[in-house]
Amino acid sequence: MNRISFFIMLLFSSTVFAQEKYTISGTISDAETGETMIGATVIIKELPGTGTVCNAYGYYSITLPRDQYTVVIGYIGYEQISKKVELYENKMLDFKLKTDSKTLEEIIIRTEMKNENIVSEEIGVEKINLKEIEKIPVLFGERDVIKILTLTPGVKTTGEGSGGMFVRGGNNSQNLVLLDEAIVYNTSHLFGFFSTFNSDAIKDLKLYKGTAPAEYGGRISSVLDIKMNEGNNQKYHVGGSIGLISSKLNVEGPIVKDKGSFLITGRRTYADLFLKLSPDENINKNQLYFYDLNAKANYKINDKNRVFLSGYSGRDVMSFQDRFSLDWGNVTGTIRWNHIWNSKLFSNTSLIYSDYDYTVAITRDDDDSFSLNSIIKNWNLKHEFQYFLNNKNTLTFGFNSQFNTITPGQLKVSENSDINPIELQDNFALENGLYFSNNWKPNKHWKINYGVRLSSFNLLGPGDFYSYSNGEVTDTTSYNKGEIGQTYVILEPRLNVAYILNESTSFKVSYTRNTQNLHLIQNSNSSTPTDIWIASSKNVKPEISDQISFGYFKNFKNDEYQFSGEIYYRWMQNQLDLKNGAEIRANEQIEGELLFGSGRAYGLEFMLKKKYGRFNGWASYTLSRTERQIEGINEGNWYPARQDATHDISLVGIYDLNKKWSISATWVYNTGNAVTFPSGKYEIANNVEFYYTERNGYRMPAYHRLDLGATKYLKKTDKFESSLTFSLYNTYGRKNAYTIDFEEDQNDPTRTVAVKTYLFTYIPSITYSFKF
């Protein structure tokens, strides 16, 4: 290792030996809970423009010439700490920050790094601190981080119950969603009405809209990196909430005070308990619920070593009158080891497991039933170094190796079934990534993150791999265990550059290439739990996206108001769609049902944010277009993707009235999704059928909605805290279209009418939360 770091030192710095320099490093955490603080800032008062930000484990390292300094530590919502340091040797300094008790006052003490949005090279990034969004109004009292992300520019939902998010024109399945580094394959509960992330378990999240640095890979549209809370290492706490359709409970506390902590959170909906109240046998025999369980523990072995263990399990269960059942869920597990080699070299090693599975079962008679089961799982080993070379260069390098197993479908049947059992062969694929990036600050005007990721993909035997022509199998090749059926190697350059004009203005530019070798096969852009994942193969090429973006960032009034404007253009290659009438269930030759093409997306995004003070919130506007061109669809012409929305506006406001009450409101507006409506009709087989001309040539009606929320703090002492949250979803009762169907007019059978189904007008909810 030393030899490598010496070599890297030579490569990246010629000044390192010229001066006597020492390093200050350490961990920053919350004084009350012991949670490490991702993104806390470390500033050197005497050297304006010199500073650093804590990494994902709250670790920082900064190297300076021998001198006397004042180190200032800051984090939003916390009191800042200043400490005089005489730097004549390497120092390890851990800091503990206290919650800012002055939050409600008009002016709060400013830390100099409140302009981090300006001086960071990051572009196309949304960071959400769970504390900031606590008061936003929500549906059924369920705070949903994915729904909140869709209020930011460039992030879209296709309406209630469609699940997930669409980032800069990409599909839902092209988002890399990581929970403590583990992939979460399906982020939706109950057909997309809720997300799998229990906000009580989440500490921090960051969304890269196609501009992620080299350590991330595997999906082409975005990276959503979610970190779970670690648990309080000072005191035991129990918290929870009781809402209309779900309840949550969490327990946290020290394993050994100051050294380790644990956190367990659970959530379960009880909509099905209402079903049980029904006297109707057909309703009370149905099941419909989901649960989530998050657990995390960490232990600091000594100053140099810390281990983490985290896991998640969530499942949806539903069944209809004992005749049909469907259940699906994700499981993830992560073991991590942080090691501080020396004051400049930090490493993290993770072993990660995650899976997603679903089972559909249909029972007709006692002896005639079948079930279909499908699983995707992976083991991932990740080893990453951060080398804080000097105050101009921070290097990140490492590798990850991920072994994927896909069980596309096992059809099990009872003895007398009229269906033949089918066991599709498992698919095995190995994805490797080798990456390097440098965060380089040549001077106070420039900040550059450049890097490269080498992604390789191997499709492995055993198995029969098919070649197709016009959807029919033309050739079959068999591979034995361990043999490589197909290999793709792609180099992915990543570059983010910031030109910092002054402390309140910067310009940024970025270019990123991303690739994806696991593809979700779905019938449309709405995801269902039974969508199927397939790996790249001889026929299915890796999806590739190239994105360029430019941004202008400007802060006003001492960083109180933050403005950003970004434009982007994204090219997408090897996009997939399905043939009309495709058979995707238990189909060995599913690749024959696919169509291939390309995509493009471009847009303009504005955001004005007020981050500090009694009133805060943001306004965001997106003007965008996203299109696909698939051979075999729309006569091969470009057409808008379903999630294409020309205009998208979100307004979010939170106001702290006094110490007892805070109120909030959100308003959203977007152009309706692109849809295919008939342009004519005809009669066939005694039915009136519809004639379609263009793919997605029409628009759903525009979607808009106002939500209001209020939080009342009932009690706030050191021993016990409680609050009531009220929400009114869709306050003015807009009848937003959920579906539009075309049917025979009941009054005049010779006519056809359009019928709109809408879901919610005014949904009030109330949630009681407590913590002791």
| Interacting positions 640-669 with other proteins (CB under 8 A) | 642
The residue among 512 and 643 lying less far from other proteins, judged by its C-beta, is: 643
Nearest distance from residue 343's CB to other proteins, in Å?
A: 53
Amino acid at 260: G
Residue of 381, 419, 595, 663 interacting with other proteins (CB under 8 A): 419
- Member of 2, 14, 686, 717 binding other proteins (CB under 8 A): 686
Three-class DSSP labels, 148-187: HHCCCCCEECCCCCCCCCEECCCCHHHEEEEECCEECCCC
Q: Is the dihedral of CA 613, 617, 623, 625 positive or negative?
A: positive
Residues in contact with other proteins, shown as a per-residue x/- string from 559 to 598 under the rule CB under 8 A: -------------------x-xx-x-xxx-----------
CB 534 within 8 A of CB 426: no
Subset of 109-168 contacting other proteins (CB under 8 A): 158-162
**Cα maximum dimension of the chain:** 91
The answer to whether residue 631 forms part of the interface with other proteins (CB under 8 A) is: no
Rounded CA gap, 589 and 579, in Å?
Answer: 13
If one asks whether residue 677 binds other proteins (CB under 8 A), the answer comes out as yes
- Residue 593: other Cβ atoms inside 10 A: 18
Provide the minimum distance between the beta carbon of 319 and other proteins in the complex, in angstroms, as a whole number: 9
Query: Smallest distance, Å, CB 708 to other proteins?
Result: 20
Among 379, 752, 764, 772, binds other proteins (CB under 8 A): 752
Q: Which one of residues 655, 760, 768, 770 is an interface residue with other proteins (CB under 8 A)?
A: 760
Q: Which is nearer to other proteins, 273 or 301 (CB)?
A: 273
- In angstroms, the CA 473 to CA 299 distance is 54
Q: Could you say which residues in the range 519-538 bind other proteins, by CB under 8 A?
A: 523-524, 526, 528-530
Q: Between 554 and 642, whose beta carbon lies closer to other proteins? A: 642
Cα gap 635→652, rounded to integer Å: 42
Q: Exactly one of 2, 415, 684, 718 binds other proteins (CB under 8 A); which one?
A: 684
Given 31, 595, 663, 759, the residue binding other proteins (CB under 8 A) = 759
First-to-last alpha carbon distance for the chain, in angstroms, is 47
Q: Is the CB of 467 or the CB of 679 nearer to other proteins? A: 679
User: Three-state SS for 520?
Assistant: strand
Element (H, E) at 6: helix 2-12
| Rg of the chain on CA atoms, in Å | 27
Cα–Cα distance, 644 to 625 (Å, whole number) = 6
Given 657, 724, 754, 766, the residue binding other proteins (CB under 8 A) = 754
| Helix (H) / strand (E) containing 438 | strand 427-443
The CB-of-583 to other proteins minimum distance in angstroms stands at 7
**Please, which of residues 699-738 interact with other proteins by CB under 8 A?**
700-701, 735, 737-738
**Cα(117)–Cα(149) distance, integer angstroms:** 17
Query: For residues 407 and 432, which CB has a smaller minimum distance to other proteins in the complex?
Result: 407
> Of these, 22, 291, 324, 772, which contacts other proteins (CB under 8 A)?
324
Q: Is 621 in the site for other proteins (CB under 8 A)?
A: no
Residues 94 and 717: their CA atoms lie apart, in Å, by 28
Compute the least distance from the CB of residue 337 to other proteins, in Å.
42
Residues 175-214 that bind other proteins (CB under 8 A): 190-193
Task: Tell me whether residue 51 or residue 137 sits nearer to other proteins (CB atom).
Answer: 137
**Residue bearing tokens 């484990």:** 57
Q: Could you say whether residue 679 binds other proteins (CB under 8 A)? A: yes
* Distance in angstroms (rounded) separating the CA atoms of residues 214 and 496: 11
Decide if residue 756 touches other proteins (CB under 8 A).
yes
Within 593-670, strands assigned E span 594-610, 615-630, 639-640, 647-656, 661-670
- Residue from 277, 415, 680, 717 binding other proteins (CB under 8 A): 680
Q: Which of 683, 717, 718, 719 binds other proteins (CB under 8 A)?
A: 683
262-321 residues in contact with other proteins (CB under 8 A) are: 271, 275, 280-283, 286, 288, 318, 320-321
**Residue 685 CB partners (closer than 8 Å, separation 6+):** none
- 486 half-sphere exposure, CB direction, 13 A CA radius: 21
Choice from 364, 445, 659, 660 touching other proteins (CB under 8 A):
364
